[in-house]
Amino acid sequence: MEDQDLKRAGLKVTISRMKILELLENSDKRHMSAEDIYKALLDVGKEIGLATIYRVLTQFEAAGLVIRHHFEGGQAVFELERGHHHDHLICVKCGKIVEFVDESIEAKQEKIAEENGFKISDHSLIIYGVCSKENCQQ
């Protein structure tokens, strides 16, 4: 299955790419930094160089397999492209990330861009806050 995605993207099916793609598909953390991935693979006994991870992620991004986000905190995080655009709600205390979609906001953005003569190529809406104690794992 994963190898099909890779071939379709014009990428050779290598161990590194398979492992990284698998991890992104199966990890319960849907948003991972290059280093998160590096460590997670180490834990599973697969050491893949950080440089390779960055290279692979960059290729995946170009191929539309993953999305790169620049949340606060220096490191970029990557998430699997599942075909459903969504925005993010991030807990600044525990790091919890909730995905959401709101059609009225999407529509409004389109309208605002149009009013200003812009043709939207992309957008990023991130709401930072503190989640309710019950769920806040820290």
Partner DNA sequence: ATGTATGCAAAACATTTGCACCTGG
Partner DNA sequence: CCAGGTGCAAATGTTTTGCATACAT
Output 57 or 91, the one with its CB closest to DNA.
Answer: 57
Among 15, 122, 124, 138, binds DNA (CB under 7 A): 15
Residue 69 as a binder of DNA (CB under 7 A): the answer is: no
Residue 54 as a binder of DNA (CB under 7 A): the answer is: yes
Among 21, 23, 32, 34, binds DNA (CB under 7 A): 34
CB proximity list for 28: less than 8 A, separation 6 or greater: none
Among 13, 62, 94, 125, binds a second copy (CB under 8 A): 125
Residue numbers 75-114 binding DNA by CB under 7 A: 75-76
> How many Å apart are CA 112 and CA 61, to the nearest integer?
27
DSSP H or E segment with residue 68: strand 66-69
User: φ, ψ for residue 46 (rounded to 5)?
Assistant: -110, 105
Among 50, 64, 126, 137, binds a second copy (CB under 8 A): 126
Q: How far is the CB of 30 from a second copy (least distance, A)?
A: 16
- How many residues of this chain interact with a second copy, rule: CB under 8 A? 33
Query: What angle is formed at CA 20 by the lines to CA 89 and CA 72, rounded to 5 degrees?
Result: 30
Q: Are 7 and 23 in contact (CB under 8 A)?
A: no
